[in-house]
Amino acid sequence: MKELAKNVFAVTGLGMYSVPVFVIEVNENELILIDTGLKKDANSILKKIKNKWGSLDKIKRIVFTHRHLDHTGGLAQMLEAIESENERAHVEIICHEEEAQYFIKDLKELKLKPTRTLKHEEYIAKGVNIKAIHNPGHTYGHICLLIEDEKLLILGDSIMYISGVLMPVFKKFHDDYKKYKKSLPKLLDYDWEYAIPSHNRPIKISREKFKKFIKKMKKKR
Ligand SMILES: [Zn+2]
């Protein structure tokens, strides 16, 4: 588990391509998760959360950057584990409004649906300064999460970090690659100091590094 900023933690899975689960500690009784990682990582991630916070029942909301299984695969186990502690637990499952229909379709077998959708620049919850930034292209309803108090941007799959290198997700895994390239620089319109790419071990990248990445992407076809 890595503390990225005050009350913002990353809980990592075991594999090289594993997607970390971000945990935001809203207060001592409430946690928000961002993504749930791979199915095979779910148990070890849950164990780490339980060790640190004592009870999984504190998880009140799970926000998804997008629907891909490396980000959503652990959801069923997580809900099950939360409900085994409190059968009346109600966990909000949240994604962007444009992602919802694909989420339902692609995760049909898991019978999991978002219970709430967000619009561009909408806050995740009242009194919680985390804003959804619609950054379409990787998927149509892909969002990045801006943690305003910490000036931190969680990038989701807008940029990956594998073996020490920043890179885009492979072209074939994008819903709309052109849109992706076009929407990426718009993330600079927001007030953040560090951004966190997805996959592998979480790191913080500066705006300068982000700008360099965009420059490189512009040259890419
Ligand atoms: Zn993805």
- Separation CA 92–CA 114 (nearest Å): 8
Q: What is the pLDDT along the chain (221 residues), one digit of tens a residue?
A: 899 999 999 999 888 788 999 999 999 999 999 999 999 999 999 999 999 999 999 999 999 999 999 999 999 999 999 999 999 999 999 999 999 999 999 888 877 899 999 999 999 988 889 999 999 999 999 999 999 999 999 999 999 998 889 999 888 999 999 999 999 999 999 999 999 999 888 899 999 999 999 999 988 87
Residue at 131: amino acid letter: K
What whole-number distance in Å separates Cα of residue 65 and Cα of residue 161?
16
Q: Please name the helix (run of DSSP H) or strand (run of DSSP E) that holds residue 24, with its range, or none.
A: strand 21-27
- Mapping DSSP onto H, E and C, the string for 67-109 reads CCHHHHCCHHHHHHHHHHHCCCCCCEEEEECCCHHHHHHHCHH
| 87 Cα to the center of ligand 1, angstroms | 31
Domains, the chain, with CATH or none: 2-219 (3.60.15.10)
Tokens of residue 152, six digits = 């931190």
Alpha carbon of 1 to ligand 1 centroid (Å):
22
- 101 CB-near residues (< 8 Å, 6+ apart): none
Strand arrangement, sheet containing 92-96: 2-5, 8-11, 21-27, 30-34, 59-63, 92-96, 116-118
Report pLDDT for 69: 93
Q: Return the structure tokens found at 1.
A: 């588990």
The secondary structure of 116-133 as a DSSP string is EEE-TT-EEETTEEEEEE
Q: Please tell me the distance between residue 68's alpha carbon and the centre of ligand 1 in angstroms.
A: 5
Number of CB atoms found within 10 A of residue 186's CB: 13
Distance between CA 146 and CA 148 in Å, rounded? 6
Please report the pLDDT score of residue 48 as a whole number. Answer: 96
User: Separation of 191 CA from ligand 1 center, angstroms?
Assistant: 24
CA of 177 relative to ligand 1 center, distance in Å: 12
Distance 56 CA to ligand 1 centre (A): 26
Q: What is the model's pTM?
A: 0.96
CA 72 to ligand 1 centroid distance, Å: 10
Ligand 1 centroid distance, CA of 110 (Å): 18
pLDDT of residue 43: 95
Distance 156 CA to ligand 1 centre (A): 8
Local structure of 138: helix, strand or coil = coil
Alpha carbon distance 43, 48 (integer Å): 9
- CA 57 to CA 39: how far, in whole Å? 20
Q: What is the distance in A from the centroid of ligand 1 to the CA of 19?
A: 10
Distance 66 CA to ligand 1 centre (A): 7
pLDDT of residue 13: 86
